[in-house]
Amino acid sequence: QVRLMESGGGSVQAGGSLRLSCAAFGFTYTYGVYCMGWFRQAPGKAREGVAVLRSGDDKTYYADSVKGRFTISRDNAKNTLYLQMNSLKPEDTAMYYCAADRSLTTWSKCGLSADFGHWGQGTQVTVSS
């Protein structure tokens, strides 16, 4: 029943900004345990974790390549996860996916390499120089 819907991708010049949104259906951010985040995959490259958020203590995890430029956040009232991307670089070009999991096991191991049971369809981000 959990469904994730990404939006906000597009084409932008290097140095620009985009905000990705992931609307979650089937659970609420207000209560319970969850691990939720953003991943990306460029053509010919492996999928990599970008930013992850854990419920309870709102602990965040960021890939070294995006630290200081990207910020993950949530809006509990809207059940929406965000990824604010600033100072975008051409190497940020990729398909970005939202992922979530509500199991206690995944929550306890929440991070960039955690196992996520639910995935969105992806939204394309293209950064030109």
**pLDDT tens digits, 63-117:** 999 999 999 999 988 989 999 999 999 999 999 999 999 998 999 999 999 999 9
Predicted local confidence at residue 49, as pLDDT: 97
- pLDDT by residue (tens digit) across 8-20? 999 999 999 999 9
Q: What is the mean pLDDT of residues 29-42?
A: 88
**How high is the pLDDT of residue 109?**
94
3-state secondary structure of 8: coil
In our burial notation (b when 16+ CB lie closer than 10 A, e otherwise), range 13-45 reads eeeeebebbbbbeebebeeebbbbbbbbeeeee
**Cα 27 to Cα 2: distance, rounded to the nearest angstrom:** 7
- Which residues face 121 on adjacent strands? none
Can you tell me the distance from the alpha carbon of 81 to that of 36, in angstroms, rounded to the nearest whole number? 8
Per-residue pLDDT, 27: 77
